[in-house]
Amino acid sequence: MFTISGQLSLDTAHEALVIGIFEKNKPLDGIAAECDNRLHGQISVLLKEGDISAKNKQISKVHTLKQAGVKRLFFVGLGKEEKLTFDLLREAFGKLFKTIKQAKLTEVAVALDTFTTKNVDALDAAHALAEAYYLATYEFPGYKQKKNEREKHINSITVYTEADQAEIKASVFVGSVYGKATNSARTLVNTPSNLLTAADLADYAVRLAGKYGFEHEILEKEEMEKLGMGALLAVNQGSKNPPKMIVLKYQGKETWENVIGLVGKGVTFDTGGYSLKPRESMIDMKTDMAGAAAVLGAMEIIGELRPEQNVVAVIPATDNMISGEAFKPDDVITSMSGKTIEIRNTDAEGRLILADAITYAKHHGADYLIDVATLTGGVIVALGVHTTGAMTNNEALFEQLLEASAETGEFIWRLPITEKDKERVRSSKIADLNNSPGREGHAIMGGAFLGEFAEDTPWVHLDIAGTSVTSKEHDLGPSGATGVMVRTLATLVERFE
């Protein structure tokens, strides 16, 4: 897909050459000036008249009319040079690749050095380019009957740069891994629940383990019963599909210590149980396993990049259905930790399965915990659909996660957990905990409940209910699943101290 080269010539045959341009009151220089000369000053004229724009994320196409081996020139507006960031550049590349895809081109060259500044070097630009390509051109394959026509896709990108080619190649590889893994998570989340049961999710994890040499464990229902995983088993009671507790272990150090635990909610479909969701709220509940997908996507990156860290991934997987066997409001269940839980709302099921998963992650030696879940509609009310909610019991761990999210452009915002909040989840008169003590501060109640199982282990909870899917197409992908937190979790693991 990607070829790295140091020799850029307009006489080389390419379907398109991509050049970055900044807003400035200076004559064209470098490859842009060479293009201008070949086209007898027409690039300068088009810039002056506004047909080529240097404004941020403006894509302009110019045909060379056989004045060069390159057939087309794509100019990518980057705005003011001092304001360019990695995130803005990645979005600009995303819009570029969407434009090229619509033009049905199969091959393109990129003058990478035209996209660099003091703030964004060639390595950053190479990473942004590769990541943006995979994110922006992603399509869920779907299940429509295929037409005989073969659609054209970009299958060759030549990157020209004066920077060290080995280093650029490495950055392109990392960016590609990040993009591909995010797309893997997107595909899992977009898959209908009848085609992605808990067993299917477990099979996917086993294939991942085989590819990357992870140690793996898939607990069956009988094993969960022996271990006392009453919270996960309760949620599964109404289903004909058995639950799975999925464990992947990656050992990047000589000894199994300082282990990072990644826990992802894997509810493959959520009816709400007897606390039944309204009709409209039940649509797209196939996406209620986006936390599990994020963890599996992060493990794909970890498998490819092999960081010197120890990681255990734990995914409780089930659907939440209704039958004569389903659990009910007023039930009292016993979690793996031994804590009893009064069920006030069967639609607050995610926190139940995560409770046993957090306990099991600690059983496997997790010294740090990050759970990811489409946990509450309340986080959408609080923070909207562009910000992931976060809660924690440990400042140092949260700061590392915050830095990772800033690096990947996946914005998170911390919500508090006070002693009063903890008292509310302990408010049951007949059990240790209440799984749904009221709608006020609903997102915080979910986090506070999970904190009861993290206990003293450093822990961060990420509520991705608002950010796991999008209703609108954007520069870095289509509508549907976003794959949010895949890159943040992987970056945290890579940078963890």
Domain ranges of the chain: 2-144+153-160, 184-495
Residue 132 has pLDDT above 70, yes or no: yes
Query: What is the amino acid identity at position 14?
Result: H
Helices (H), 261-308: 279-282, 290-305
pLDDT-derived band at 30 (thresholds 50, 70, 90) equals very high
Residue 49's SS3 state is helix
Q: Which of 26-35, 293-302, 408-417 has the lowest mean pLDDT?
A: 26-35
Residue 475 has pLDDT above 90, yes or no: yes
CATH of domain 2-144+153-160: 3.40.220.10
Token code pair at residue 227? 């271990």
CA distance 52 to 60: 5
Convert the pLDDT of each residue in 333-354 to its tens digit: 999 999 999 999 999 999 999 9
Give the model's pLDDT for residue 146: 75
How many Cα atoms sit within 13 Å of 281 on the Cβ side?
A: 12
Give the model's pLDDT for residue 147: 66
495 CB-contact burial (10 Å; exposed 0-12 / middle 13-18 / buried 19+): middle
- The residue with tokens 């980057």 is 78
- Give the Cα-Cα-Cα angle 51, 55, 57 (nearest 5 degrees): 100
Convert the pLDDT of each residue in 135-166 to its tens digit: 999 999 999 887 656 677 899 999 999 999 99
User: What are the start-end ranges of the E strands in 332-401?
Assistant: 332-334, 340-342, 366-373, 388-392
Residue 54's SS3 state is coil
Residue 197 has pLDDT above 90, yes or no: yes
Average pLDDT over residues 52-64: 96
Average pLDDT over residues 248-253: 98
Q: Using an 8 Å Cβ cutoff, are 35 and 19 in contact?
A: yes
Residue 406 has pLDDT above 90, yes or no: yes
Q: What percent of the chain is helix, strand and coil (3-state, nearest 5)? A: 40, 20, 40
Angstrom distances, CA of residue 85 to CA of 31, 110, 121: 22, 19, 10
The answer to whether the annotation marks 349 as part of a ligand binding site is yes
Give the model's pLDDT for residue 148: 59
The answer to whether the annotation marks 149 as part of a ligand binding site is no
Q: Which residues carry out catalysis?
A: 277, 351
Helices (H) and strands (E) in the chain — how many of each?
16, 20
Query: What is the amino acid identity at position 494?
Result: E
Helices (H), 153-214: 165-190, 198-212
Query: What is the amino acid identity at position 140?
Result: F
Give the model's pLDDT for residue 466: 98
Convert the pLDDT of each residue in 228-239 to its tens digit: 999 999 999 999
The answer to whether the annotation marks 240 as part of a ligand binding site is no
Q: Using an 8 Å Cβ cutoff, are 313 and 403 in contact?
A: no
Report the mean per-residue pLDDT for the chain: 96
The answer to whether the annotation marks 347 as part of a ligand binding site is yes
CATH of domain 184-495: 3.40.630.10
Give the model's pLDDT for residue 288: 98
Give the model's pLDDT for residue 150: 66
Over pLDDT 90: what percentage of the chain?
96
Residue 255 has pLDDT above 80, yes or no: yes
Quote the pTM value: 0.97
Average pLDDT over residues 92-107: 96
The answer to whether the annotation marks 270 as part of a ligand binding site is yes
Q: How far apart are the first and last CA of the chain?
A: 34
Average pLDDT over residues 178-185: 98
